[in-house]
Structure 1
Amino acid sequence: MDTPPGALCRLDHIPDGVAVAVDAELPDGPENLIVLREGEQARAWLNICPHAGRRLDWSPGQFLISKGLLVCAAHGASFRTGDGACVGGPCRGQALRAVGVCVERGWVRLRDAG
């Protein structure tokens, strides 16, 4: 199976409802992304908390998701998994920076790649 342009990871390598960290080459340079699987779809954000600019992982590549919220390991900011908006913690009212992704032939890929 050919890997599509901008491929980040296989969707079936992410358990449903789980987020993983993936390195990507974006137009502005290399970034680490949070990729969240929701059924047969995926969402992605830069792995940067708007509060202090730190990564959200609790351990490398592993994230805490509870009751539809992605929780930052550094200061406990809580972001809705539906839109990345911060609804609790030190950056309430801000949001994670979304990265456009889609699922193509089982691959999560950058939306604007190729």
Structure 2
Amino acid sequence: MHNLTTVDSVHEEGSYLFTADGPHGDPEEVILVPCEDGVEAWINRCTHEAQRFDTGRGVPMRDDQLICPRHGSLFDACEGDCDNGEAAGTTLPSVDISETHGDVYLTDDDYAFAHEGGIDDDDGPSSTSHLQL
């Protein structure tokens, strides 16, 4: 169980982005978004074309719905369901979290916390090329 952030922080900032190692060992971006009863966690991509919701500037939201920046599909922030646009009839993949005394914890056995921010936001090199001229 990893302490991610606080419920208050997610509500104040509008979202929280972190990277976790997924079920197959691959990095996955996860977003926390505010809901009326706390926060919810979703994989950071639209179900239509794998477009990222949070590209480093926070999750675009309107009226408690996540907005796909590519096609405008709207996903319920608390349920993950989409009933319009290109992604209609789909649901965002969820990630298990828990809230205790205002703190938010990653509790999903399929995900291991890697770092805050997106996949490319860690302190590693921006290129893996070893070419020399």
The verdict on a shared fold, with TM-score over 0.5 as the criterion, is: yes
Alpha-carbon shift at residue 94 of structure 1 (Å)? 0.6
1:43 maps to a residue whose letter is E
Q: 1:52 to 1:112 in 2, by over 3 A?
A: closer
In structure 2, what is the equivalent of residue 97 of structure 1?
Answer: 93
Equivalent residue letter for 1:44: A
Instruction: For residue 56 of structure 1, report the CA deviation from its aligned partner.
Output: 1.1
TM-score (norm 2): 0.69
> For the residues of structure 2 that align with 1:24 and 1:40, how far apart are their CA atoms?
24
Give the Cα separation in 2 of the matches to 1:98 and 1:24. 13
Distance in 2, matches of 1:46 and 1:75, equals 18
Instruction: Could you tell me which runs of 5 or more consecutive residues in structure 1 were left unpaired when the two chains were aligned.
Output: none
**Gaps in structure 2 of 5+ consecutive residues:** 110-133
- Say if 2:82 and 2:90, in contact at 8 Å, map to a contact too: yes
Identity of aligned residues (%): 28
Asked whether 1:65 is paired with 2:61, we answer: yes
Question: What's the counterpart of residue 21 of structure 2?
Answer: 25
RMSD, matched Cα: 2.2
- Structure 2 CA distance for partners of 1:19 and 1:48, relative to 1, 3 Å: same
| TM-score when normalising by structure 1 | 0.78
CA-CA distance at 1:88 after TM superposition: 1.4
Q: Distance in 2 between matches of 1:40 and 1:99?
A: 17
Structure 1 distance, partners of 2:36, 2:76, is: 17
> What is the SS of the residue equivalent to 1:31?
strand
Q: Which residue of 1 aligns with 2:102?
A: 106
Residue 7 of structure 1 deviates from its aligned partner by 2.1
Q: Residue 22 of structure 1: SS of its match in structure 2? A: strand
Identify the structure with the greater strand proportion: 1
- The Cα of 1:47 is off from its aligned counterpart by 0.2
